[in-house]
Amino acid sequence: MNAGDLVQLIPYNPHSCEPVQEKVGIFLATRPSPQSGAGWIVLVDGEIETFTHTYWKCSKVETDIIHE
C-alpha cells in the first residue's frame, strides 16, 4: 500500500464479543514499532487513527474506472 490509497480495515479480535464495524479510509503510513503498537495510520472520517496489526486487517480497495 502507498500513501493516498483507499483502504478497507476489517476488525479481527478473537477475544471480543463486541461487534466492530469495518472502516474505509485513506492510507497514510505504517507505524513499524511493536513497542508503540505497530499498525496502519489511516485517515477515517476526517480523523487520523492508528489501527494495530493485532486487531485489524488492512487491504487496498481495488476500484475499476470505466471510461465511456
Q: What is the mean pLDDT of residues 47-65?
A: 85
pLDDT of residue 38: 84
Q: What is the mean pLDDT of residues 9-21?
A: 76
pLDDT above 70: percentage of residues in the chain: 78
* Residue 5 CB burial class (10 angstroms; 0-12, 13-18, ≥19): middle
Please name every residue paired with 9 in a beta bridge, in sequence order, or none if there are none.
23, 58
pLDDT above 90: percentage of residues in the chain: 47
Q: Average pLDDT over the chain, rounded to whole?
A: 84
Q: What is the mean pLDDT of residues 21-31?
A: 92
